[in-house]
Amino acid sequence: MTYTADTELIPRPRNLRRLPVQGLFPLDRDTLIEAQPGTEGVARWMRSTIGAATGLPLAPGDDDDNRIVLAIDPALPPEGYRLVVDGRAVRLDGGSAAGVFWGAGTVRQLLGPEAFRRAPVVERDAWYLPTVVVEDEPRFAWRGMLLDVARHFLPKDGVLRYLDLLAAHKLNVLHLHLTDDQGWRLEIRRYPKLTEVGAWRERTKLGHRASPLWDDRPHGGFYTQDDIREIVAYAAERHITVVPEIDIPGHSQAAIAAYPELGNTDVVDTASLKVWDTWGVNPNVLAPTDHTLRFYEHVLDEVLGLFPSPFVHIGGDECPKDQWKASPAAQARIAELGLDGEDALQSWFIRHFDRWLAGRGRRLIGWDEILEGGLAEGAAVSSWRGCAGGIAAARAGHDVVMCPEQQVYLDHRQHASPDEPVPIGFVRTLEDVYGFEPVPPGLTDEQAAHILGTQANVWTEVMDSRQRLDYQVFPRLAAFAEVAWSRLPRPADRDHRDFGRRMTAHYARLDALGVDYRPPGGPHPWQRRPGVLGRPIDGAPPNV
């Protein structure tokens, strides 16, 4: 494949070739969009996005040679597309509306970085596309990013902006981490205190939990149910699925602060608990009572009404067992159920909600700790502590999303320099992320088929603003997007030089989008956070 300046695409397509037709294909004020059945939403997106940037009306019509034809071709893969710009017209076929949409994103890239602005910056009689054929399809069905809005709340407009950024990189899953010890971010009408109390904390630790610094301003916020409906609809227009996460049974102090009866009241004065203001693994976990089960069933009833995602994430990670060990009520529950200790009690929690969700046509997905004690047949696993959990799950016949913290946690620092703001974890450079392989070696073809895809996780303990979020996510999300979409060779054979060259063009797109990414040469002075303590880990991350 040969790229030129106007065809430096990210993610890299499966096949791109220049046509021998001389010249370029112009888009001008007379260019029409012919949207054949099933593609009307893509045409609407092109008018609102590409049309806004270029100033072209891209009006509907089918009676002129100067047009873009959108069509669904069932012979193509569901998210695959074929784009032909031959000097006479633009023809974009997709295996589904999603495939057509991803192809429209390629058209936008081919028009140049100015097509990523919200309004024209120069007057042009025409915009030009190179004469090319692009044939493309994604490697994985799940190409995601987790956004932690519980630790630091991101207002609705920020979430909508990130949906646009995911779509620009052909990512199709936004995993929203909505609840944690530090905040509950989703309106539940049956339980209003979850947001009246649980959405707000009095102050916030600045930097790593060992830092002596505090931000003494109250912090919080939540999404109303109408906000969520808007987010979900906006995502659907961009063929992105929003997967909600409601953490059970750990990471629950915000819920317990709102409703103290949810906690282990026989060992802790839960009425004195507040929304947590620092970071780490919290000892206050849910009590294994029937009341707790009914409470969260009622919560999930409302969640299912808001999120059409086939998957619902229930967390299941980092649940200390100390309170259950000390609780007579929890010990009585273990005996009543005939369980083998506290680990089995956590598995009982997970299995209950797995059955509950399955009975309503949904699938449970959780962090790899949910493997402990065994899983129900339909449950899926987010493998975060490394690849081992994902390997075990795939070998046991469970679907897996690979998101190991050592490779694709974007809160980890990008360089060893002391100038990196609030340095957390291992050094994971742009090149490191580009070298990530979501399918571990050693799996059979049948086991590898259980790898649904991959996800980059963005935990926001030390990301207290949009600028900090952008800095940690970009440009590494571009490398991750290519790993998730493109059929790359094994990591040792990947062409980092070619990717770096294409990134040069992509930085101009990120500039046009207003993304505050980390520059290749290191942070701008205003991106640094001197004096705010992080927790860097030296050396290469373990292969686990």
CA 454 to CA 465: how far, in whole Å? 26
Q: Is 405 a catalytic residue?
A: no
Q: Is 180 a catalytic residue?
A: yes
Contact 481, 10 (CB under 8 A): yes
Choose the catalytic residue: 318, 343, 372, 419: 318
For residue 440, cis peptide bond before it (omega within 30 degrees of 0): no
Q: How many helices (H) and strands (E) does the chain have?
A: 17, 25
Q: Is the dihedral of CA 160, 437, 452, 372 positive or negative?
A: negative
Choose the catalytic residue: 152, 177, 239, 251: 251
Q: Is 251 a catalytic residue?
A: yes
Residue closest to 451 by CA, chosen among 369, 361, 383: 383
Structure tokens at 408: 């694709």
DSSP three-state, residue 527: helix
Contact 375, 354 (CB under 8 A): yes
Backbone angles phi, psi at 310, to 5 degrees: -65, -20
Structure tokens at 25: 């294909």
- What is residue 513's DSSP assignment? H
Contact 68, 58 (CB under 8 A): yes
Structure tokens at 222: 């939540």
Choose the catalytic residue: 136, 137, 180, 354: 180
Crossing angle for the helix pair 40-54 and 225-237, to the nearest 10 degrees: 90
Contact 389, 401 (CB under 8 A): no
Contact 330, 265 (CB under 8 A): no
Burial of 143 (0-12, 13-18, 19+ CB in 10 A): buried
Q: What amino acid positions are annotated as catalytic residues?
A: 180, 251, 318
